């Protein structure tokens, strides 16, 4: 055991995972700031509406900050009363002048503070996530355009299928990322809610003015007032946040998995960035492992099961119980901090990705021309050959490994009668097999430019 060295219980508490700016949102001191911001906004709104005295509202709002309500003092009180955020309320009452003390936390319940503070945390975290998503999407679009003219093997079931543009891979991912950005914007319209309706969602002692208070608080905090709630906001809102993190992480996992496969020694088409002095294997000096992509896949495996926990939090008893409380302290921060880490990591991979064009071209030729069978079949169909018969002939020729594919074809009398060597060679050119790839890529690039409002005619160049 190491003595005198602070060891984090979870890796997420160390510098290994998560950016500084994202983790700060979920630190205890930040959580306290968000909660106090809600208390201040409520006091101001209640004073404006004449529910509490104006001087009390000003006093509470002026003291509802960490200069007066310190984290240390809140922890001391919590040790005695075993309740959050009642500990925060008690400290706030202590620091306020006597005339304001009766009006602190007036008409509120604990989850008015906690749930609204969570909305503020989600809002600020998603600003970081959206910025990362935009950067990554633009990067993918630029890579799609850069490699639009590069033919490559298209694989299905792990087997060579036909020719694609290498840039099409990136275009597909960029298009998927655009949908995620749209999902995020739609999500935020629903989940960034303010709730100040008291112990069972009726507005409690604030009476009919309760809705006016909630509207004003929502405006002050740049949130939306919840339409209806119990003591807590419906947990389907939080479940949607966790689901979004999981589905976006799964797209990043998909990209990471493709890169891991393409970096396999037998394929060798791409390679993750590898820093000078970096060690790939403690035993094998020549190894360059795709560790960043593997990390992204690993994070995605952790995020996906959190969706089940979030779904289980939706059916609470009556107006609420505490079965959601403990796990939400994990699943929401973990989902967003780890999603941020996966996005940053995948961006780093794509920025520094080494594309081995020689290997890509060599892999096209690996099957001796068999990858062009789709186009040979098309030639025969256009000559009037029945589809099934043509399919069987091309399939039979592909089974011969003793001669090049084109020779195997021409040694079949039915083929030799209708096709010349020159005609076959004409469709066995990789650059002639890209079909609509460039049109698709240009379409996606244009959509990225339009939806992300990118000025000019070009994207920032990658490293």
Q: Are 379 and 419 part of one and the same domain? A: yes
Q: How confident is the model at residue 288 (pLDDT cuts 50, 70, 90)?
A: confident
157 is a catalytic site residue? yes
Q: Are 311 and 396 part of one and the same domain? A: no
pLDDT score of 12 = 81
Q: What percent of the chain has pLDDT over 90?
A: 89
Q: Are 251 and 391 part of one and the same domain? A: no
Report yes or no on 441 lying in a domain.
no
Report yes or no on 160 lying in a domain.
yes
Domain C-terminal end among 312, 334, 363: 363
pLDDT digits (tens, 9 = 90+) for 146-173: 999 999 999 999 999 999 999 999 999 9
Q: Are 115 and 157 part of one and the same domain? A: yes
Token pair, residue 237, equals 């809102």
* CATH code at position 137: 1.20.200.10
Instruction: Give me the catalytic one of 14, 29, 281, 420.
Output: 281
Distance, in Å, from the CA atom of 195 to the CA atom of 200, rounded to the nearest integer, reads 11
pLDDT score of 453 = 83
pLDDT digits (tens, 9 = 90+) for 85-109: 999 999 999 999 999 999 999 999 9
Q: Are 409 and 293 part of one and the same domain? A: no
Closest alpha carbon to 146 in 166, 116, 163, 122? 166
| Dihedral class, residue 50 (left if φ above 0, else alpha if ψ from -120 to 50, else beta) | left
pLDDT score of 458 = 40
Number of structural domains the chain divides into? 3
Q: Are 329 and 199 part of one and the same domain? A: yes
The parent domain of residue 294 ranges over 110-272+288-363
Distance, in Å, from the CA atom of 197 to the CA atom of 199, rounded to the nearest integer, reads 7
Give me the residue label for tokens 């906004």: 41
Mean pLDDT, all residues of the chain? 93
Q: How confident is the model at residue 462 (pLDDT cuts 50, 70, 90)?
A: very low
pLDDT digits (tens, 9 = 90+) for 135-151: 999 999 999 999 999 99
Q: Are 82 and 116 part of one and the same domain? A: no
Between β-strands 193-194 and 270-271, what pairing exists: parallel, antiparallel or unpaired? unpaired
Domain C-terminal end among 53, 77, 103: 103
Q: How far is CA 206 from CA 116, 203, 325, in A?
A: 18, 6, 26
Q: Are 208 and 115 part of one and the same domain? A: yes
| Three-state DSSP class for residue 383 | coil
pLDDT score of 459 = 38
pLDDT digits (tens, 9 = 90+) for 58-76: 999 999 999 999 999 999 9
Domain C-terminal end among 58, 76, 103: 103
Q: Are 388 and 324 part of one and the same domain? A: no
Report yes or no on 444 lying in a domain.
no
Q: Are 268 and 155 part of one and the same domain? A: yes
Report yes or no on 451 lying in a domain.
no
Closest alpha carbon to 84 in 100, 97, 68, 71? 71
Close Cβ partners of 428 (under 8 Å, ≥ 6 residues apart): 369, 372, 375, 406
* CATH code at position 77: 1.10.275.10
pLDDT digits (tens, 9 = 90+) for 222-266: 999 999 999 999 999 999 999 999 999 999 999 999 999 999 999
Closest alpha carbon to 412 in 425, 395, 429, 426? 395
Cβ-count burial 271-303 (b if 16+ within 10 Å, e if not): bbebeeeeeeeeeeeeebbbbbbebbbebbeeb
Phi, psi (degrees; rounded to nearest 5) at 128: -70, -45
Distance, in Å, from the CA atom of 337 to the CA atom of 339, rounded to the nearest integer, reads 6
Token pair, residue 281, equals 């294997």
160 is a catalytic site residue? no
Token pair, residue 206, equals 């604030």
Report yes or no on 84 lying in a domain.
yes
Distance, in Å, from the CA atom of 92 to the CA atom of 65, rounded to the nearest integer, reads 9
pTM score, two decimals? 0.92
Residue 339: in which H helix or E strand, if any? helix 325-351
Q: Are 293 and 382 part of one and the same domain? A: no
Q: Are 251 and 350 part of one and the same domain? A: yes
**Is pLDDT at 461 greater than 50 in this prediction?**
no
Instruction: Give me the catalytic one of 157, 318, 453, 457.
Output: 157
Distance, in Å, from the CA atom of 92 to the CA atom of 215, rounded to the nearest integer, reads 24
Cβ-count burial 80-94 (b if 16+ within 10 Å, e if not): eeeebbebbbbbbbe
Q: How many helices (H) and strands (E) does the chain have?
A: 18, 6
CA 436 to chain centre: 29
Is residue 362 within 8 A of residue 370, CB to CB? The reply is: no
């Amino acid at each position: 055991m190491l003595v005198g060295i602070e060891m984090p219980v979870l890796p997420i508490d160390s510098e290994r995972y998560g950016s500084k700016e994202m983790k700060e949102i979920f630190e205890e001191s930040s959580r306290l700031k968000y909660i106090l911001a809600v208390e201040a906004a409520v006091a101001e709104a209640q004073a404006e509406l004449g529910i509490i005295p104006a001087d009390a509202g000003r006093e509470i709002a002026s003291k509802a900050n960490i200069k007066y309500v310190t984290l240390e003092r809140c922890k001391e009180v919590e040790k005695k009363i075993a309740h959050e955020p009642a500990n925060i309320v008690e400290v706030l009452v202590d620091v306020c002048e006597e005339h304001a003390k009766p009006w602190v936390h007036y008409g509120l319940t604990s989850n008015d503070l906690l749930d609204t503070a969570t909305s503020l945390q989600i809002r600020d975290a998603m600003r970081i996530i959206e910025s990362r998503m935009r950067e990554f999407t633009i990067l993918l679009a630029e890579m799609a355009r850069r490699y639009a003219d590069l033919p490559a093997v298209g694989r299905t079931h792990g087997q060579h299928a036909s020719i694609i543009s290498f840039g099409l891979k990136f275009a597909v991912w960029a298009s998927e990322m655009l949908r995620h950005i749209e999902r995020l914007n739609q999500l935020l319209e629903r989940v960034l809610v303010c709730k100040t309706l008291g112990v069972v969602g009726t507005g409690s002692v604030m009476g009919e003015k309760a809705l006016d208070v909630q509207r004003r608080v929502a405006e002050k905090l740049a949130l939306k007032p919840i339409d209806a709630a119990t003591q807590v906001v419906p947990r389907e809102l939080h479940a949607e946040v966790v689901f979004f993190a999981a589905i976006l992480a799964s797209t990043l996992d998909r990209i990471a998995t493709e890169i891991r496969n393409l970096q396999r020694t037998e394929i060798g088409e791409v390679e993750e960035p590898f820093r000078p002095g970096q060690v790939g294997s403690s035993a094998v000096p020549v190894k360059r492992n795709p560790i960043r992509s593997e990390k992204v896949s690993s994070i995605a495996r952790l995020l996906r099961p959190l969706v089940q926990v979030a779904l289980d939090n939706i059916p609470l008893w009556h107006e609420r119980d505490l079965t959601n409380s403990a796990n939400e302290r994990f699943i929401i921060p973990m989902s967003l901090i780890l999603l941020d880490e996966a996005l940053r990591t995948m961006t780093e991979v794509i920025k520094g990705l080494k594309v081995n064009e020689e290997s890509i071209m060599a892999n096209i030729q690996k099957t001796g021309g068999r990858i062009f069978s789709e186009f040979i079949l098309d030639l025969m169909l256009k000559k009037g050959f029945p589809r099934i018969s043509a399919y069987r002939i091309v399939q039979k020729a592909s089974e011969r490994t003793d001669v090049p594919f084109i020779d195997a074809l021409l040694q079949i009398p039915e083929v030799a009668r209708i096709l010349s060597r020159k005609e076959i060679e004409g469709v066995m050119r990789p650059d002639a097999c890209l079909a609509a790839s460039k049109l698709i890529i240009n379409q996606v690039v244009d959509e990225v430019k339009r939806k992300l409002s990118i000025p000019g005619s070009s994207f920032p160049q990658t490293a």
